[in-house]
Amino acid sequence: MTQIVQPDSLVTLHYRITMENGQPLISTFEGTPATLQLGAGELLPSLERLLAGIEVGKRQLFALEPEDAFGPHNPELVERVKREHMPDEEIEPMSIMEFVAPDGSRYSGLVREIDDQSALVDFNHPLAGKSIRFEVEVIGIL
């Protein structure tokens, strides 16, 4: 009997995410496959929806536009942060920093530029605004 991935399946699979130009970002094909509970937030909802309906043993490649992947780049999430609100450590441009909000929640941001007074920090996901390719091979459904 053929098993087909459902929206709430516990699935074992290999997956690869690359940039549109083929630049690799993450891959399990060269190592241990991933086991994910769909619907539990372990994978982007848009990627989970692509998995639904795939048969065990099948391999598929999807090309995703930014809206279907990590979303568009939101210029409102690029902020200037005063140095007094940042750690005293040496901070390099293009490094990722973690910030703590007043409510205790944590946010990561990419420091785009920095000077003595402030830093320009991008709080968008690093892949926001980018097209990606998502390749998947379903190994089994548990």
74 in Cβ contact with 67 (< 8 Å): no
More confident residue, 122 or 105: 122
Q: Report if residue 92 sits inside a domain.
A: yes
What CA–CA distance (Å, rounded) separates 120 from 130? 20
* Same domain membership, residue 64 and residue 109: no
CATH code (residue 15): 3.10.50.40
What CA–CA distance (Å, rounded) separates 84 from 129? 30
Q: Is the pLDDT of residue 1 over 80?
A: no
**pTM as predicted:** 0.77
- Domain holding 62, by residue range, is 10-71+128-141
What CA–CA distance (Å, rounded) separates 87 from 85? 7
Number of domains in the chain: 2
Q: Report if residue 58 sits inside a domain.
A: yes
Q: Is the pLDDT of residue 34 over 80?
A: yes
